[in-house]
Structure 1
Amino acid sequence: MNTCIASLCPLCGSTMASDSDICDYDKDAESAPTLGDYAAMNSGLLTHDEHVLIVARWAMHRPAGLGQKSLQKFKAVVLEKWGQFQQRYPLSAENKTLTR
């Protein structure tokens, strides 16, 4: 299925597919978009700065429990990268059992 980018999420600036009105970063902790990041960073597929952007976008949807300084830092990251596409790397099936 081909999707085109229709808009940006008003909370985190992530691109949203035209067939969805829900941001892909709006996930609970068990489905957080950061779960595969460490394996991707270890493999050289993802940099630390790219990981920080993913965490920041997710945090904009889940700010409860964040300190004011952390929230300000994440907002600054999101604003700097507003509209920029970020590749994400989900956990492989065999790794999902290790994280639960």
Structure 2
Amino acid sequence: MVDDHAARLETAGTEYRLFPVVHVSKLKLVRQFPDRPGTELTVDEAERLDFDEALLPEDSWTTLLGEDEYEVERIADMRTGRRTRYGREHREFQV
């Protein structure tokens, strides 16, 4: 406690970048979770099963295109037009 209305936070050694003195009205009690498991994994990282690795196909980058979808080989030209009302530029691509 710095005084009756301020407390100093213990932020040394952490990556938090804030002023360490706060008003006591901003502090809250830490919730305790007694039912949270406290055990650690004992299996080596090399022996763990990667669920995503088993489910991905060989070439996951190839996607099936719909009837009105086409794959673009290259963009020949791009032009910018007027801006939208939200400040973005309207762009048109020539493929």
Q: Looking at both structures, which has the greater relative contact order when contacts are Cα pairs under 8 Å and sequence separation is at least 6?
A: 1
Which structure shows the higher helix fraction? 1
TM-score (norm 2): 0.23
- Give 1 or 2: higher strand fraction: 2
TM-score by length of 1: 0.23
